[in-house]
Amino acid sequence: MSQYFSKMGRLLIAGFILTSCIGCDQFTKYMATQSLKDSSTQSFLNDTVRLQYALNSGGFLSIGSSFSPELRFGFFIGLNSLVLMIVSGIIIARWNMKLSQFVLLLFFLAGGLGNLIDRVFQNGLVTDFLNIGIGPIRTGIFNVADIAVFVSGILLIIITRKTTPVENRIETAQP
């Protein structure tokens, strides 16, 4: 019975994370499009946070935005889909992994799906609207899905390195 609850509990966690993260991402992109598309940049907290509408044709920090539209569309949708299929496969194959890893992989998957939805329905473009910085040091423009992917990816690396014995890390790092 406890094994069933564990599976059911993880299924509920997965459903909650995927629907809430993707829903939040898509809702904030919709609101950004409605309120920021035809307006100037809005600044908050002494210009630490800026809201500005942008359609990103590339990946992280607009990498690949100079590709032809056809190549860009195929590359980002194809690559994103492949990575998301691998992550989904890991979640399914290692369903009983540590709960922290399970949750972080779900956030990574949800963020990737949020941006994939944009690319599929906006001809390869992703809606971005957040910019953070202090003075001249600023991030690129990003969205909620980017936060989910970036933060969960960094945390996965950190917790994986903490749980992997040092000897194994050294052995696998050598050629």
C-alpha to C-alpha distance for 105 and 84, rounded to whole angstroms: 10
For residue 38, the tally of other CB atoms under 10 A from its CB is: 8
Query: Residue 45 sits in which domain range?
Result: 2-173
N residues, the chain: 175
Domain count, the chain: 1
In this prediction, the residues of the chain whose per-residue pLDDT falls under 50 are: 1, 167-171
- Give the list of residues 6+ apart from residue 163 with CB closer than 8 angstroms, or none: 98
**Residue 5: what are its φ and ψ, rounded to 5°?**
-60, -40
Please report the pLDDT score of residue 101 as a whole number. 95
Residues marked as catalytic: 128, 146
Q: Which residues contact 62 (CB under 8 A, 6 or more apart)?
A: 56, 140
Give the separation between CA 80 and CA 76, rounded to whole angstroms: 6
pTM over 0.75, yes/no: yes
